[in-house]
Amino acid sequence: MAEPTPALPDRLIAHLDMDAFYASVELLRYPELQGLPVVVGGRRAHTPQLRPDGTREFFKLADYTGRGVVTTSTYAARALGVFSAMGLMKAALRAPQAILLPADFDSYRHYSRLFKAAVREIAPVIEDRGIDEIYIDLTDVPGAREPVGHDPLGGVRAVAREIKNSVQSATGLTCSIGVTPNKLLSKIASELDKPDGLTLVTMADLPTRIWPLPVRRINGIGPKAGEKLDGLGIHTIGELAAAPQELLQQHFGPGYSAWLHQAAWGLDDRPVVTHSEPVSISRETTFERDLHARRDRPELSRIFTALCEQLASDLQRKGYLGRTIGIKLRFEGFRTVTRDLTLDEPVQDAAAIRHAAGLCLKRVDLSQRLRLLGVRVGKLSRPGEIEPPRRGRAGGAGKVEDLRPAPENLSLFG
Ligand code: DCP
Ligand code: MG
């Protein structure tokens, strides 16, 4: 064992993010699309058709009409300017030759479980951050703190490479990993050399690798704060690090401005949290065309029931009951309204969810047409378990709007 070296930080934290995740899973199924611009975001109607000669006929983005959005795209499509959340019709203008594929969430969940299990065999301290990303605490992984030759980070680099290899052999997919002293920097670092990246950043690298980046790369600086900082002439993380504290405090309040300053200096002591229960589980759908509560009642009612059934099956599969049932409605013009109510006893079945969600619906004015409908179950518990205490707002009163008298929706689709 070599002498302890000052270059090695106290903690070695990794952030792993799968590359073009949904699109890459689709390429496993359709390897002939490797290297081509491919967009995930279609509906079932866009499923490739098998020709008599055994080849497949894919749906060209140029032939798309509708209001769907890009869920994700391959790097070849990104090179043509097609990114997540872009309208498919707009994407078709940029990349008419791109292939459109429907999303298959069951597959993505399957590969998500596979890659996480592969990582866990090497490094068990994992924080699940969603379908395609995790934090990993490598501090106590054997070998991670061993230097290799004169490189104090040689050990951790080898462990990270082993994780990448293991994910690749378990799934056939590539990922990008950032390794730094904390979660905040690792989240930034994993993006720096995407796809198939392995990026190590130490505090000494802060000025060269982190400070030139735009402030929005910091997880926790959203569009609003980003715009405000822009207005103050603070565009890069380095400019944020150099900004006078008083200036930040004037515009952001004491708590957030202190955090901004720390973040810009690469400081973050949040632990990697290995076990977390979901706060809520939801399902939602955007309609092909806007629907009206009265005129499109049968269709809306069918969609509403189907969402509740999917949600019930999610709950049952994951082993949860829930006591708060909520709905989300988005109207034409994008106004979004939520309502929820809390039941005396937790439920798990579709009929009970449908009933409670129907009661929520009756508290919404449905005169405008709808573009999205969602159903959510919160205050989750396991069967036979006492509800875990949670911080946050109590009761099911929802937003202030809830206090208005209920309009006459009893006869509508709820
Ligand atoms: N996703 C989504 N809606 C978005 C963005 C992403 O449904 N607005 C889905 C599709 C992605 C997955 O989540 O495949 C992971 O999101 P990422 O932001 O990690 O995007 P990718 O993995 O697709 O690409 P990257 O290589 O940039 O990580
Ligand atoms: Mg990803």
Residue 72 CB-density burial (10 A; 0-12 exposed, 13-18 middle, 19+ buried) = buried
How far is Cα 298 from Cα 302, in angstroms, rounded to an integer?
A: 6
Q: Mean pLDDT across the stretch 286-294?
A: 93
Q: Is the CB of 268 under 6 A from ligand 1?
A: no
Contact, 324 vs 279, CB < 8 A? no
Check pLDDT > 80 for residue 3.
Answer: no
pLDDT reported for residue 72: 97
pLDDT reported for residue 279: 85
pLDDT reported for residue 414: 56
Check pLDDT > 70 for residue 338.
Answer: yes
How far is Cα 290 from Cα 87, in angstroms, rounded to an integer?
A: 16
pLDDT confidence of 412, banded at 50, 70, 90?
low
The Å distance, Cα 133 to ligand 1 centre, comes to 10
How far is Cα 157 from Cα 80, in angstroms, rounded to an integer?
A: 33
Check pLDDT > 60 for residue 70.
Answer: yes
Residues contacting residue 7 through CB under 8 Å, at least 6 positions apart: 152, 153, 202, 204
> Is 345 noted as a catalytic residue in this protein?
no
Known binding-site residue numbers: 17, 132
3-state secondary structure of 30: coil
Q: Mean pLDDT across the stretch 307-332?
A: 95
How far is Cα 298 from Cα 391, in angstroms, rounded to an integer?
A: 39
Return the ligand number nearest the Cα of 194: 1
pTM: 0.74
Return the ligand number nearest the Cα of 84: 1
Contact, 76 vs 35, CB < 8 A? yes
Known binding-site residue numbers for Mg(2+): 17, 132
Report the chain's C-alpha Rg in angstroms.
24
The Å distance, Cα 28 to ligand 1 centre, comes to 17
Condensed to tens digits (0 to 9), the pLDDT of residues 354-371 reads 999 999 999 999 999 999
Long-range CB contacts for residues 401-407, cutoff 8 Å, separation at least 24: 401/337, 402/339, 402/363, 406/362, 406/363, 407/363, 407/364, 407/365, 407/366
CA pseudo-torsion sign 240, 241, 247, 253: positive
Check pLDDT > 70 for residue 403.
Answer: no
Condensed to tens digits (0 to 9), the pLDDT of residues 122-148 reads 999 999 999 999 999 999 999 999 999
pLDDT reported for residue 402: 32
Q: Which two tokens stand for residue 30?
A: 């359709």
Marked catalytic residue, from 32, 57, 127, 133: 133
- Domains of the chain plus CATH, in order, are 13-18+107-207 (3.30.70.270), 22-103 (3.40.1170.60), 211-264 (1.10.150.20), 280-403 (3.30.1490.100)
Residue 414 CB-density burial (10 A; 0-12 exposed, 13-18 middle, 19+ buried) = buried
**What are the DSSP calls for 292-350, one per residue?**
-TTTTHHHHHHHHHHHHHHHHHHHHHHT-EEEEEEEEEEETTS-EEEEEEEEEEEE-SH
Q: Is the CB of 18 under 6 A from ligand 1?
A: yes
What is the best residue among 21, 108, 219 to mutate for testing ligand 1's pocket, by most ligand atoms within 8 Å of CB? 21
pLDDT confidence of 386, banded at 50, 70, 90?
low
Q: Which residues pair with 347 in a beta bridge?
A: 322
Report the first-to-last Cα separation within the chain, whole angstroms. Answer: 69
pLDDT confidence of 413, banded at 50, 70, 90?
low
What is the DSSP secondary structure assignment for residue 72, as one 8-state letter?
Answer: E
The Å distance, Cα 132 to ligand 2 centre, comes to 6
pLDDT confidence of 406, banded at 50, 70, 90?
very low
| Mean pLDDT, the chain, integer | 91
Check pLDDT > 80 for residue 405.
Answer: no
